[in-house]
Amino acid sequence: MEFLQWDSRDVARWIESLGFPQYKVICARVRELLGITETLWSRSIADPRQDPVALFLEKKSRTGEHAEALTFQRFLYDFYQ
């Protein structure tokens, strides 16, 4: 999952390779790249846990110092503890 290490230039090159499609297309392609399905916000807490990549991205979607500093490797360490 090398793409989890991409910086903004890598992301820009990838989006450029897609031909700058509309936002909904970009979201779908990112999910495809990550191998995750669209997040179901109405998911019950009784449902099984989500994929670690999806959970990591959910945490990274928040703003703030903790979210900005969180790496995938650190998330996996915490996730499996």
How far is C-alpha 41 from the geometric centre of its chain's CA atoms?
15
Q: Report how far apart, in Å, the C-alpha atoms of 12 and of each of 15, 17, 24 are.
A: 5, 9, 16
Looking at residue 40, its pLDDT comes to: 55
Q: How many CB atoms lie within 10 A of CB 39?
A: 14
Does the pTM exceed 0.75? no
Query: What is the number of alpha carbons within 13 Å of residue 7 lying toward its C-beta?
Result: 1
| Cβ atoms of 33 and 3 closer than 8 Å | yes
Tens of pLDDT, residue by residue over 19-32, are: 876 667 777 787 78
